[in-house]
Amino acid sequence: MYGETAGLVVRELVKSKLIPPYHDEQLRRVAQELRGLDELAGDRRSPPDALLYTRAIQHNKRCILAYLLERVHRLEELWWIAGSARTVSRELSSCLSSNEVGFLNRYDAIVGDYISSTDVDLNLVNDLILVLRIEVCS
């Protein structure tokens, strides 16, 4: 049925605590399904058929965008925990795609530039917030 692969990829990501391996092959299958559905929706068919194909396209797109966005959020969170892109990419190199490694390196450079231009170590700010939370909750 339409959308099964896209849903499976998202469900697996939701179940995992860290970042699971990037599913390049499954994402390619979803892209092929999208192309096929687009051709079917473009054909002159009855309105219910066109609606079905259009909804399946929208479902697949939402699932893939949610998958990619959640991976980006997890990468950002791991960067703040680890403190650098090299540490994150070294630990998770088998799970990340080349685009995600590039994202981490650019993210690292942007945060590094910001820290150097403001003279504020954002990692220390994170540590202070954690200490304050512990003191308040104790």
Q: Where are the domains of the chain?
A: 4-137
What global pTM score does this model have?
A: 0.77
pLDDT value of position 124: 58
Strands (DSSP E) found in the chain: none
pLDDT at 44: 66
Cα–Cα distance measured from residue 33 to residue 11, given in angstroms and rounded to the nearest whole number = 18
Q: How far apart are CA 41 and CA 37, in angstroms?
A: 6
Just give the CATH number of 4-137.
Answer: 1.20.58.1030
Q: For residue 107, how many other CB atoms are within 10 A of its CB?
A: 16
Q: pLDDT tens-digit profile of 64-105?
A: 999 999 999 998 888 887 777 777 767 787 888 889 888 988
Residue 46 per-residue DSSP state: -
Are 54 and 41 spatial neighbours (Cβ–Cβ below 8 Å)?
yes
